[in-house]
Amino acid sequence: MPALKRMSLGRLVWPLAALGCLLLFNLFFTPNFFHVEVKQGHLYGNLIDIIKNAAPIMLLAIGLTLVIATKGIDISVGSVVAISAGVVAILLGGDLGGVPLFPVPVAIAAALIACTAAGFWNGILVSRIGLQPIIATLILFVAGRGIAMVLTNAMVIWLYVKPFAIFGQGYWLGLPFSIYMVAGLLLLTWFVTRRTAIGMFVESVGINPTAARFSGINAKNILLGVYVFSGFCAGLSGLVVCSTVMSADGNNAGNLYELDAILAVVLGGTSLNGGKFYLLGSMIGALIIQTLTTTIYAFNVAPEISQVVKAFVVYGVSLLQSERFRRSVSGMFVKGRATA
Amino acid sequence: MTRRLLDNRNLSILVILGLFVIMFGYGSFAYTGFFAVQNFLNLFIDNAYLLILAVGMTFVILSGGIDLSVGSMLGLGTMIASSLVTKQHLNPMLVIVIVVLVGTALGFFMGCLITLFELPPFIITLAGYYLARGLCYVVSIDTIAISDPVFQSAAHSEIHIIGNSFVSPSAIIAVVVVLVGAYVLRFTRFGRTVYAIGGNEQSALLMGLPVGRTKIGIYALSGFCSGLAGVVFTFYTLSGYALDGKGMELDAIAAVVIGGTLLTGGSGSILGTVLGVLVYGTIQVLIVFQGTLNSWWTRIAIGFLVFVFCALQRLFETRKEATAVRGASRTSAAVAGGG
């Protein structure tokens, strides 16, 4: 048991170390980075901002962690975020006085149902029709943004419904409300996957679907389930995104989020080859990405250039995950010792 | 003979050809002015860059890989071209060569990572997507206009072929790329190796084919095509903008898939891809002629077509597997009976 504990902690060491390095760098080179103050009963500061801005990616990453654990991928989540925002926007309406067309809970429920349905569609394609996950979700990746644009009639809909602002801008007990959403979803997912056998089923499908099927696991339904869940998570993420800017922009809402979320999961130690997954690792991965972005902002570099840095992070991480690369590097060391 | 004609590969080409004819035919009946030689040629003129990207993508997908970086690389191409021509006043021909070389080099780099370290193409080209898009912004945040006479004439010249109908230089470049691509794929050792890798990489390796070299070559080729597509794209816009080519990688993949190339690799053709691009273009034109639907319906229609074609592919595959299993059990039964 202690060995097991050490192993799971060991997996988290690398992402934690990366996050630590970034924070340490900021401690020395970015003035006031760690400054947190209380304004009107809320906490303000860079650190709070990082967590707040990372929330949409964290929500996506929770769903994607399970998908990737089954050796799948869901590249449609960014478009599903746009659908979620679009559905909320048309149901609340752009009334300047802040009078919603439908009650806020109805709009939220409708958005979540729409996104869960999107996830269900992905899941059916993967588990029943047997398409490769990247292709199955490519369909909604392409069409999803089109659906969002058609819903909003290709216009940006601004929202003035005050209560809806809580998801992206609200505070509770001094902290941004979205943090509680992330924490809640994380706890729930952790409980369902780690306190029941479902987590093990998910991992076994990722490691060897045939073996999983032979040992009596309904691999098809597990696959269907993770995509449905991923769609649901994207729906929640869409609520936060839409509420943060109080508008639904089908073109830009959730744009490129799928890449950030996948990167977060991979940084967190979950392998793209499926199998073991690390929910907490994915959260740290999302924080790493956001800290990186915030750091780059702090240096007055155009935020778009951060993509170059991200690219090299991805290259580095995937090289570290490559069996070949590790072997050739360790081979170099062994050879060096032999000649010495 | 009929069986020959209806074998899987030809069948998918026939299906896509039929779809194209039906769509073009529908447009001709429904809208006046739709049926014209020029309208058909416009499909090539308006989609030249997509055609070039899709040829490169066909090689990648045939080998069982994927290249998500091509859209950003196209954007990077327009940025480099416009900044070198407008700001550095370099010779435009030299600029075109540089852009194509940069694309090829980036593709080569990704191919090396994928091949030498056995990394998943999806992730490496995803990082390439970030990298190229980020480099666009390193070149410039703003739009750079091109006023160079060579680019101007490439953008505006019309080459008459039949009567009053004309094509643009970019369409000719695209057609040349298509022809060369089709030749390489069908008649060279490199092309046959691409099919072999897509069919079964392990077998290709055991057959002694140069798998590693070919795989690196495939991604370099796709990079070359993206660079060239970037140049051609500047002929349309006469400018470089860091968001050029956003989402185009998926258009290219969609065109290849609709064209009947199997995403698992090993089966498909350039002809199919060309038809895929034509169908894509026709959908766009139909939506323009229709008038009331907004252009986003194109994306929904493309998504739907990708779905239909993927589902059909799966159907064929499962049927083939089923017949293979049945055939195998029959053979083993015969062997057992004979013994």
Q: Does A168 touch chain B (CB under 8 A)?
A: no
Report the 3 state secondary structure along B123-149. HHHHHHHHHHHHHHHHHCCCCEECCCH
Q: Note the pLDDT of residue A313.
A: 79
d(CA A296, CA A44): 19
Q: Note the pLDDT of residue B216.
A: 97
Q: Which of residues 231-260 of A touch B (CB under 8 A)?
A: 250, 259
Of all residues in chain B, the one with the smallest CA distance to A73 is B122
Looking at the complex, report in whole angstroms how far the Cα of residue A319 sits from the nearest Cα belonging to chain B. 7
Chain A with chain B: Cβ pairs closer than 8 A: 131
Q: Which residues of A touch B141 (CB under 8 A)?
A: 302, 304
d(CA A122, CA A140): 8
Find, among A120, A47, A9, A63, the residue nearest to A265 by Cα.
Answer: A63
Render pLDDT for B90-147 as a digit per residue (tens, 0 to 9): 899 999 999 999 999 999 999 999 999 888 888 899 889 889 999 998 898 889 998 8
Q: Which residues of A touch B314 (CB under 8 A)?
A: 129-131
d(CA B283, CA A143): 14
Say which DSSP state B167 is in: E
Task: Let me know: does A168 contact A49? Beta carbons within 8 Å.
Answer: no
Instruction: With CB atoms and an 8 Å threshold, state whether B127 touches A310.
Output: yes
Q: Which residues of B touch A312 (CB under 8 A)?
A: 127, 131
Q: What is the mean pLDDT of residues A313-334?
A: 77
Report the 3 state secondary structure along chain A. CHHHHHHHHHHHHHHHHHHHHHHHHHHHHCCCCCCEEEECCEEEEHHHHHHHHHHHHHHHHHHHHHHHHCCCCCCCHHHHHHHHHHHHHHHHCCCCCCCCCCCHHHHHHHHHHHHHHHHHHHHHHHHHHCCCHHHHHHHHHHHHHHHHHHHCCCCCEECCCHHHHHHHHCEECCEEHHHHHHHHHHHHHHHHHHCCCHHHHHHHHHHCHHHHHHCCCCHHHHHHHHHHHHHHHHHHHHHHHHHHHCEECCCCCCCCHHHHHHHHHHHCCCCCCCCCCCHHHHHHHHHHHHHHHHHHHHCCCCHHHHHHHHHHHHHHHHHHHCHHHHHHHHHHHHHHHHHC
Find, among A122, A73, A54, A85, the residue nearest to A287 by Cα.
Answer: A54
Looking at the complex, report in whole angstroms how far the Cα of residue A325 sits from the nearest Cα belonging to chain B. 6
Q: What is the mean pLDDT of residues A158-179?
A: 86
Q: Which of residues 3-42 of A touch B (CB under 8 A)?
A: none
pLDDT at A3 over 50: no
Please tell me which of the candidates B131, B264, B303 has its beta carbon nearest to residue A146: B303
Report the 3 state secondary structure along A56-124. HHHHHHHHHHHHHHCCCCCCCHHHHHHHHHHHHHHHHCCCCCCCCCCCHHHHHHHHHHHHHHHHHHHHH
Looking at the complex, report in whole angstroms how far the Cα of residue A291 sits from the nearest Cα belonging to chain B. 17
Q: Which residue has the higher pLDDT, B252 or A94?
A: B252
Say which DSSP state B166 is in: E
Q: Examine residue B267 and state whether it is found in any structural domain, yes or no.
A: yes
Long-range Cβ pairs for the range A215-220 (8 Å, 24+): A219/A127, A220/A127, A220/A128
Question: Lowest mean pLDDT: which of A28-42, A213-227, A279-293, B62-76?
Answer: A28-42
First to last CA, chain A: 40
Looking at the complex, report in whole angstroms how far the Cα of residue A160 sits from the nearest Cα belonging to chain B. 26
d(CA B201, CA A308): 32
d(CA A57, CA A283): 9
Q: Note the pLDDT of residue A310.
A: 79
Q: What is the mean pLDDT of residues B300-327?
A: 78
Number of domains chain B contains: 1
Which candidate in B143, B256, B310, B319 is best for mutational testing of the A interface (most A CBs within 10 A)?
Answer: B310
d(CA B158, CA B195): 38
Q: Examine residue B336 and state whether it is found in any structural domain, yes or no.
A: no
Which candidate in B123, B135, B215, B320 is best for mutational testing of the A interface (most A CBs within 10 A)?
Answer: B123
Find, among B17, B4, B1, B3, the residue nearest to B269 by Cα.
Answer: B17
Q: Note the pLDDT of residue B337.
A: 46
Q: Which residues of B touch A152 (CB under 8 A)?
A: none
Q: Which residues of B touch A302 (CB under 8 A)?
A: 137, 141
Please tell me which of the candidates A138, A144, A307 has its beta carbon nearest to residue B253: A138
Q: What is the mean pLDDT of residues B28-45?
A: 86
Q: What is the CATH number of the domain that holds B234?
A: 1.10.3470
Find, among A125, A174, A149, A114, the residue nearest to A254 by Cα.
Answer: A149
Q: Which residue has the higher pLDDT, B80 or A330?
A: B80
The SS3 call for residue B260 is coil
Instruction: With CB atoms and an 8 Å threshold, state whether B133 touches A307.
Output: yes
d(CA B126, CA A296): 21
Q: Which of residues 262-291 of A touch B (CB under 8 A)?
A: 262, 266, 272
d(CA A246, CA A161): 9
d(CA A280, CA A272): 16
d(CA B288, CA B310): 26
Task: Let me know: does A91 contact A242? Beta carbons within 8 Å.
Answer: no
Render pLDDT for B194-208 as a digit per residue (tens, 0 to 9): 999 999 999 999 999
Q: Which of residues 62-101 of A touch B (CB under 8 A)?
A: 73
Name the most confidently modeled range: A201-205, A256-260, B304-308.
A201-205
Q: Examine residue B242 and state whether it is found in any structural domain, yes or no.
A: yes
Q: Examine residue B333 and state whether it is found in any structural domain, yes or no.
A: no
Q: Examine residue B228 and state whether it is found in any structural domain, yes or no.
A: yes
Please give the structure tokens belonging to residue A310: 């991200």
Q: Which residue has the higher pLDDT, B331 or A177?
A: A177
Q: Examine residue B335 and state whether it is found in any structural domain, yes or no.
A: no
Tell me the average pLDDT of chain B.
87
- Which range marks the domain in which residue B143 is found? 2-326
Q: Which residues of B touch A130 (CB under 8 A)?
A: 314, 318
Find, among A255, A286, A303, the residue nearest to A85 by Cα.
Answer: A255
Question: Lowest mean pLDDT: which of A165-169, A181-185, B56-60, B227-231?
Answer: A165-169
Name the most confidently modeled range: A160-174, A224-238, B246-260.
A224-238
Say which DSSP state B35 is in: S
Q: Note the pLDDT of residue B4.
A: 53
Percent above pLDDT 70 for chain A? 94
Render pLDDT for B221-279 as a digit per residue (tens, 0 to 9): 999 999 999 999 999 988 888 888 887 888 899 899 888 888 888 888 999 999 999 99
Q: Examine residue B337 and state whether it is found in any structural domain, yes or no.
A: no
Query: What residue has token string 């590693």?
Result: B212
Core vs surface per residue B269-286: b (16+ CB within 10 A) or e: bbbbbbbbbbbbbbbbbb
Tell me the average pLDDT of chain A.
86
What is the complex's ipTM, to 2 decimals? 0.77
Q: Examine residue B134 and state whether it is found in any structural domain, yes or no.
A: yes
Instruction: With CB atoms and an 8 Å threshold, state whether B135 touches A308.
Output: yes
Task: Let me know: does B79 contact B281? Beta carbons within 8 Å.
Answer: no
d(CA A322, CA A51): 30
Q: Note the pLDDT of residue B3.
A: 52
Q: Which of residues 126-155 of A touch B (CB under 8 A)?
A: 129-132, 134-136, 138-147, 149-150, 153-154
Of all residues in chain A, the one with the smallest CA distance to B307 is A139
Looking at the complex, report in whole angstroms how far the Cα of residue A304 sits from the nearest Cα belonging to chain B. 6
Please tell me which of the candidates A311, A322, A324 has its beta carbon nearest to residue B134: A311
Please give the structure tokens belonging to residue A20: 């630590």
Element (H, E) at B300: helix B297-338
